[in-house]
Amino acid sequence: MSLLDEVDRKAMALGIPLNAQLDITWRCNERCVHCYLDHEGAGEMTTAEIKDAIRQMHESGTFFLSVSGGEPLLRRDCFEILEYARSLRMSVKLKTNATMIGPKEAARIRELGIGEVQISLYSHEDEVHDTITKLPGSLRRTIEGIRNLTANDVKVSISNVLMTHNAGHGLAVKQLADELGVIFHIDPTITPKLDGDRSILSLNISENQLEQAYHTEEFVGNVGEFCAPASSADTDYLDNYSCSAGHTYVYISPTGEVWPCVQFPMKCGSLREQKFGEIWRNSPAFTELRSVHLRDMPTCSQCNHASYCSRCPGLAYVEGDLRGPSSKDCRDSFVRTGIPVSIQTGTTSRVAQGAYGLVQIAAATGAGA
């Protein structure tokens, strides 16, 4: 077990919010076709409120902080916020599209000791990338930003989100990442908008394209997972949780709302109404979430993929059932393994030959939705 694994295990046992994502704005200079945010800037926390939120999280045990958006550099106080988090000796990552990172900004990021800058890059072709971002020249500007960062020895990682627009561009983007000297991940995840709009799910790549991505040799070990599973080798897997959200991971919105994760829009409290520690320890929503183990999920606990499925409780929640399956993860599990989903119901076993079979069986048996 690595040191980070041991730290995470202890944080889980002690109920410490070790990891946090703080979105300081949802405004953005891009309008990506697959984005789940609304890009409105109304009600954003002030600089003082954001610093106070960081202080409160730090006092509760948060060490790893991702500062994100929208595009965080649209806020004039972005570097002030980053500097404050670093003054508390927090390990800070910055998520940005890099279009606003010139030589001066890159040098400042290096001076602050930002641990990593995470950037989405959708294609090696201007036309495709810029069509996705709806910002002419964005690929050129993003690559310039990456070069400015690497010239300052800043660690950079590229996330290539796969969708219908760029399904066949993964290998070329990886080659570009190699040429730039940065880390590469593919991410085959398109999620519903935070307002519940599911229309953008039509951008998901096909099952055949997803299978190809999972089994491309160059991508092995580079398929990004949004969050880490909250599990322990010391317990029966049915006693584990499927995700760290709400256990060692927390999300803060630009308006101060506290959620388990950015993909898990279950409001647990507001920093404008309560202190972070009170919300983290006493929120009824967090209490309910933490009470749900794998064995408490009527459908998932009976599935033959249960011990290794990367089920996202946030996506299941958006689909309507915190204790139910996530159709996206049912699909991914089937495609990754090639093993049909089998659900044990009483004395019989039903086998689903397709990626969404688990959800269909759940509906038929009344176990989840």
Q: What is the mean pLDDT of each run of 10 residues along the chain (369 residues)?
A: 86 94 97 91 95 98 97 98 98 98 98 98 98 98 98 97 95 97 92 87 91 83 56 61 89 97 94 98 96 86 80 87 84 79 51 40 35
Contacts of 167 (CB under 8 A, 6+ apart): 205, 206, 209
Q: How many residues does the chain have?
A: 369
Neighbours of 141 (CB within 10 A): 20
Q: Which pLDDT score is estimated for 63?
A: 97
**The model's pTM:** 0.88
Cβ atoms 305, 297 nearer than 8 A: no
Which residue, among 45, 44, 149, has the nearest Cα to 100 in the 3D structure?
A: 149
| CA–CA–CA angle 330, 119, 214 (5° rounding) | 30
Longest C-alpha distance within the chain, in Å?
Answer: 66
- DSSP-derived pairing of the beta strands 156-161 and 116-120: parallel
Cβ atoms 162, 205 nearer than 8 A: yes
Token pair recorded at residue 161: 């989100």
- Identity (one letter) of the amino acid at 51? K
**Residue 45 DSSP class:** P
Cβ atoms 8, 228 nearer than 8 A: yes
C-alpha span between 328 and 117 (Å, rounded): 27
Q: Which pLDDT score is estimated for 356?
A: 40
Element (H, E) at 291: none
Cβ atoms 276, 266 nearer than 8 A: no
Neighbours of 265 (CB within 10 A): 20
C-alpha span between 314 and 200 (Å, rounded): 17
Q: Which pLDDT score is estimated for 39?
A: 82
Helix axes 170-180, 138-151, angle to 10 degrees: 30
| CA–CA–CA angle 289, 292, 294 (5° rounding) | 135
C-alpha span between 359 and 103 (Å, rounded): 50
Query: 257 - beta bridge partners?
Result: 270
Strands, E, within 24-115: which ranges? 64-68, 91-95
Q: Which pLDDT score is estimated for 267?
A: 97
Question: Which residue is associated with the tokens 């998901």?
Answer: 204
Question: Which residue is associated with the tokens 């944080």?
Answer: 11
